[in-house]
Amino acid sequence: GAGVSQSPRYKVAKRGQDVALRCDPISGHVSLFWYQQALGQGPEFLTYFQNEAQLDKSGLPSDRFFAERPEGSVSTLKIQRTQQEDSAVYLCASSLSGTSGEETQYFGPGTRLLVL
Amino acid sequence: SQKIEQNSEALNIQEGKTATLTCNYTNYSPAYLQWYRQDPGRGPVFLLLIRENEKEKRKERLKVTFDTTLKQSLFHITASQPADSATYLCAPCIDYKLSFGAGTTVTVRA
């Protein structure tokens, strides 16, 4: 079966541009997570969905970051008016139910965003 | 605030030896701790999970310990192989939320 897929794999944006990053989770997975990974660092939690409900957005760094999952499957992370400090790899992960720390999270390959 | 620290130095070891990685955390009490492997240009891949009431967990050549008093987990790769070369991330978890360390890069020389 297919794993988590993300697109685009690479994105170069000019400062001030809006970008949209897509995540296709594993079919049937209820929970979806977005992480930001800076160079040389571990992934940092951004936001969490259970089906279409965004239950936690405490990690979103500013109001320029917005995530949605309208039908409970595909998710989009949007960054408005990109800044150079937004340059990072954005990882998406899904899990079967995601309600406890016992669940494995399955990660996509990430989208590498470079803001010039 | 919560803090997770892994070996700050990269680990270079000879094939066949055991690699031991350290993960220390402060200011919280996770019920579980997960370890992931990450290769360059790829997302993390789950390896092992250990619960707070478990002292040790094994899977093939991998062994994880979890000491909630010391707030520390150790991750061992025994009989290491060049294919084990990667970055290893520890992730203490509370409820659904994983908090990752910066990772330790392991290189196994043939």
Domain contains A107 = no
Among the partner-chain residues A41, A95, A109, the one whose CB lies closest to the CB of B102 is A41
pLDDT (tens digit, 9 = 90+) per residue, B63-109? 999 999 999 999 999 999 999 999 999 999 988 889 999 999 999 99
| A62 and B CB contact within 8 Å | no
Domain contains A113 = no
On the question of pLDDT at A103 being above 90, the answer is: no
CATH superfamily of B3-109: Immunoglobulins (2.60.40.10)
Domain contains A55 = yes
Domain contains A62 = yes
CATH code at position A16: 2.60.40.10
Residues in contact with B40: Cβ distance below 8 Å, sequence separation at least 6, in sequence order: none
Q: Domain locations in chain B? A: 3-109
- Residue A74 lies in domain: 5-95
Residue A42's nearest CA partner among B67, B58, B23, B108 is: B23
| A25 and B CB contact within 8 Å | no
pLDDT (tens digit, 9 = 90+) per residue, B3-53? 899 987 899 999 999 999 999 999 888 989 999 999 999 999 999 999 999
Residues A101, B41: C-beta atoms closer than 8 Å: no
Average pLDDT, chain B: 94
**How many domains does one find in chain A?**
1
**List of chain B residues whose C-beta atoms are within 8 Å of the C-beta of residue A35:** 100
Residues in contact with B8: Cβ distance below 8 Å, sequence separation at least 6, in sequence order: none
The label of the residue with tokens 């954005």 reads A90
CA B14, CA A77: separation in Å to the nearest integer?
A: 42
Q: Please report the pLDDT score of residue A1 as a whole number.
A: 56
Domain contains A109 = no
